[in-house]
Amino acid sequence: FRRSYQTGFLTKVVDDVFHKNLERFGAFTITPVDEFWKPLELGKSFDLGEPVCFEAKAPRSSGNLRLYLNSCFVSASPSFPHMETHTVVHNAGCLVDSENSTVTKFYPGPDKTTVRLCIEAFLFKSMLLMPADNKNLFLHCELDLGPENPMSKAKSCTYDAHSKKWTELYGQDLVCECCDSTCPIARA
């Protein structure tokens, strides 16, 4: 028996069963890469302001799906939440860090299940006096497979300082109009 003490409705339990096949896609990966999109060797360091590039990949999937980075932030800790963070991607795929740096941008991958991005190397103020071998930063991202054609709740938008506009990775810039306000969020 189910009872509700809210006014206006009475819950009725129905014994219907709904089956949906779940697709298993495997593991998503984010790999630090060099300017030729090859994986970095262990221990590579960067100078402040230099581009630091990453390649995010979804497992090969059936259908016309595309990989999206919904949100990404950098922290000084491999686990999150962390007190000190820097937002890179926000608002369902807006590369907000590109508003501050021309180095920061999305790049097309070999297919639409790969997203490449570069950000400008930086340090948190609290790290300035630390020894060089302790100055590690970690990129945390929420990834999603979605429709091949972007929409305002699934996109890859970079701010172009020259045109003062947001541009979508594959040219459908209209979906980026919400990057300066609040974009709708995809619901599971």
Query: Residue 183's pLDDT is what?
Result: 85
- Note the pLDDT tens digit of each residue in 28-39: 899 999 989 999
Confidence at 26, pLDDT banded by 50, 70, 90: low
Distance CA 188, CA 180 (A): 24
Query: Residue 187's pLDDT is what?
Result: 54
- Note the pLDDT tens digit of each residue in 42-95: 878 888 899 999 999 988 765 688 999 999 999 888 876 667 889 999 999 999
Q: What is the token pair recorded at 77?
A: 């800790």
Query: Residue 94's pLDDT is what?
Result: 96
- Note the pLDDT tens digit of each residue in 101-160: 999 999 999 999 999 999 999 988 888 888 777 788 889 999 989 999 999 999 999 999
- Domains assigned to the chain: 29-39+46-176 (2.60.40.4100)
Mean predicted confidence (pLDDT) in 6-25:
44
Query: Residue 117's pLDDT is what?
Result: 95
User: What's the first-to-final CA gap in the chain, in angstroms?
Assistant: 29
